Amino acid sequence: MSATTANPSAQGTRRVFLVVTLLVAASALGFIAFGNMGENLVYYWDVGQLREAGDKAIGSTIRLGGVVKEGTVDWRPDESHLEFIITDGSQEVPVECSGAPPQMFREGIGVVVEGTMTPSGTFTSERLMVKHSNEYKAPEDGMSADERKQLYRTVEDL
Amino acid sequence: MRWEHGLLAIGFVLLAIGHGMGLFMAPEEAMMREAGRILYAHVPTAWVALVTLTLSFFAAVGALWTGRYGWDAAVEATAETGVVLTALLLFQGSMWAKPTWGYYWDWDPRLTTSAILLVLFVGVLVVRRVVSDPERRLTVTAIATIVAFVDVPVVYFGVKWWRSLHQEWSSPQTVDSTMVMPLRIAAFAMLFISLAICVIRWRTILATVQAEATAPDLPALPAELSLAEKEV
């Protein structure tokens, strides 16, 4: 037996295995990519889809994604209660969350909330996730990184 | 000293330069602040993890087509490196996710398919250790690798195909010009380090596999000890 190559008499079998495996792998990938899996496995609904579902959305666990509408955030730290409106640009849903929002949370940012619809038309959630875009920008507010570090240090000990 | 040790050294120098620039010269990110600097570690790790696992796929095709142990050893070396990188990727990602999204983990498509990728290639390495006959092991590992590889394009394109919490691809158009250079240097650093580790491991694995394949077969068991074809 040669040390650099496996038994040459089995080479034909190995090549058959190769072709069959490649075909299986390619069809699996094709199915995942073009098999409309996305229609059945949706990570979150937008506001339109939530509205379409109507009463079915009440009581079932749903992820809802959209943008926090400017000027609608009401955060009451003493009650750990957060209210805001999620919009997709045309339609809106009021959202109530318990617990402190992540530090990235702000008006105009994308969010995904996990929770359910209530009969009153408000979405209640206990899990609020901030969706960051693929844009990485330098700060624009004129404060340099050093100045901000200084500010951070002064706030740190509070 | 072999050439891969030189490549490894260049990789570490570039890593220091890239992260030095990323940590001390590039500005913080406008929204994520200091946490945004994980960009320089996380994105190169992701790219290079997918590159090494893609190399694994081509090595598996080569192993089945030629039957050469050189390809067989390359499958293991790249799969091993890819597993370490993918584990690192998931860890870095959750470190970043906590301050940005608010949670360490979420079962969004990108994160779920990445976790599956780690499990699949750990599976390839397990299968490799279970099969002891070098010839059979070459075939079984290569088949397992080609099957596991299916998840690589799914991880990469998933953010385009499906809605996810994870952001889409970053490109020089979406990344501030001051952040592009440290990112690029850190990416080459990770690439060089990982390729060097692949080659170093490849030499060791190949030597082991060839020694195993060259070793003579054990003598046949005496008839009274053989379990095969014994009537009960």
Contact state of A43 with B165 under an 8 Å Cβ cutoff:
yes
Per-residue pLDDT tens digits for B53-77 = 999 999 999 999 999 999 999 999 9
- Which residue has tokens 């580790």? B197
Of A31-45, A124-138, B184-198, the one with minimum mean pLDDT is A31-45
Residue B228 lies in a domain: no
* List of chain A residues whose C-beta atoms are within 8 Å of the C-beta of residue B174: 133-136
- A113, A96 in Cβ contact below 8 A? no
- B8, B196 in Cβ contact below 8 A? yes
Percent of chain B's residues with pLDDT above 70: 96
Per-residue pLDDT tens digits for A68-111 = 999 999 999 998 999 999 999 889 999 999 988 888 899 999 99
pLDDT of residue B230: 54
Fold held by A42-131: OB fold (Dihydrolipoamide Acetyltransferase, E2P) (2.40.50)
- Hey, what are A43's tokens? 């990570």
Separation between Cα atoms, residue B188 and residue B193, nearest integer Å: 8
pLDDT of residue B226: 64
Residue B29 lies in a domain: yes
Residue B214 lies in a domain: no
Say if residue A37's pLDDT is above 80.
no
Residue B56 lies in a domain: yes
The whole-chain average pLDDT of chain B stands at 93
Inform me whether the C-beta atom of residue A23 falls under 8 Å from chain B C-beta atoms.
no
Separation between Cα atoms, residue B158 and residue B114, nearest integer Å: 10
**Residue A19 or residue B228, greater confidence:** A19
| Closest by CA position to B206, among listed A14, A7, A5 | A5
Residue B133 lies in a domain: yes
The whole-chain average pLDDT of chain A stands at 86
Contact state of A21 with B179 under an 8 Å Cβ cutoff:
no
- A144, B33 in Cβ contact below 8 A? no
CATH code assigned at B181: 1.20.120
CA distances (Å), origin B120, targets A41, A52, A91, B125:
21, 38, 42, 9
> What distance separates the 2 farthest-apart alpha carbons in chain A?
77
Which of B23, B25, B28 would best serve as a mutation to test chain A binding (most A beta carbons within 10 A)? B28
- Hey, what are A112's tokens? 């995904």
Average pLDDT over residues B86-98: 96
* Number of domains, chain B: 1
Q: Note down the domain range covering B22.
A: 3-209
* Interface pTM, i.e. ipTM: 0.85
Residue B137 lies in a domain: yes
pLDDT of residue A158: 42
